[in-house]
Amino acid sequence: MSDNGKAGLRFEICVDSIAGVIAARDAGAHRVELCASLIEGGTTPSLGMIREARKVEGIGLHVIIRPRGGDFLYAPEEIAVMEADIDAAKAEGADGIVFGMLNPDGTVDVELTRRLVARARPCAVTFHRAFDMTPDPFAALETLIDLGIERVLTIGQEATMLEGADTVAALVEAAGDRIIILSGGGMTPRTAARIVAMTGIKEIHFAALAPVPSGMRFRRPDVFMGGTLRPPEYDRLDTTTGDVAAIIGAARG
């Protein structure tokens, strides 16, 4: 990839806080994907979160619409929630909407996707990593192109971006100018330039989270708010300007 190509790279940062939106903006990112519950891969953020994120100037705002963690096969009542959440995100001024729905056989749910794309307009639409759970990524790609979706998020149907790089490169070639392949999950300053060179991606999606200790002095270390999977009660992860800037700089070389 030429230096001009690297200069034209666009960066989307996956965040779950207003501090993360500000950090991404200050590091030079072009937009954020606003989520809740990143430990589950991202779910729909609250109305208050979307509203406050939209107040941050100088960065695009895409909002994930995912009513729960787990699979991407949704019941009618969940679809009704998704439609209401799309309406709310649009009303708050989101630039883009992010979702993904599959059939029981893993193929893209065409009718539901078409319905939600129409609901999301005039916002741009990204089909998220539900794509990586499809049995045939190239068939799924053609389906999404036919549906008029702007972007698809993928790491090549593998556990890591480096493992999926060959598939991502093939998807970039197959997509041409018909749809944007958005990729880069798990990217680090050490791997960023190599992933860009291997895949030819022009838009990069990643999270850059660092531990943030709690300010609580009084603590009950044996009491947990969650279920069997127990993230720390007094520490959390948040997006940092330095980590975002480091990956952006490394990707651009």
Has residue 106 got a pLDDT over 60? yes
Structure confidence at residue 231 (pLDDT): 65
* Residue 39 structural domain: 3-210+226-252
The mean-pLDDT minimum among 68-77, 167-176, 233-242 falls in 233-242
CA of residue 105 relative to chain centroid, distance: 23
The gap from C-alpha 92 to its chain's centroid, in whole angstroms, comes to 19
In a domain, 217, yes or no: no
Is 79 domain-assigned? yes
Residue 191 lies in a domain: yes
220 lies in a domain?
Answer: no
Q: Residue 24 belongs to a domain with what CATH number?
A: 3.20.20.380
Instruction: State how many domains the chain has.
Output: 1
In a domain, 189, yes or no: yes
User: Is residue 218 in some structural domain?
Assistant: no
Tokens of 97: 């909407």
Within-domain flag for 221: no
Its pTM stands at 0.91
Q: Is residue 219 part of a domain?
A: no
Element holding 151 (H helix, E strand): strand 151-153
Q: What is the pLDDT of residues 36-95, one digit of tens each?
A: 999 889 999 999 999 999 999 999 999 999 999 999 999 999 999 999 999 999 999 999
Q: Is the pLDDT of residue 222 over 50?
A: yes
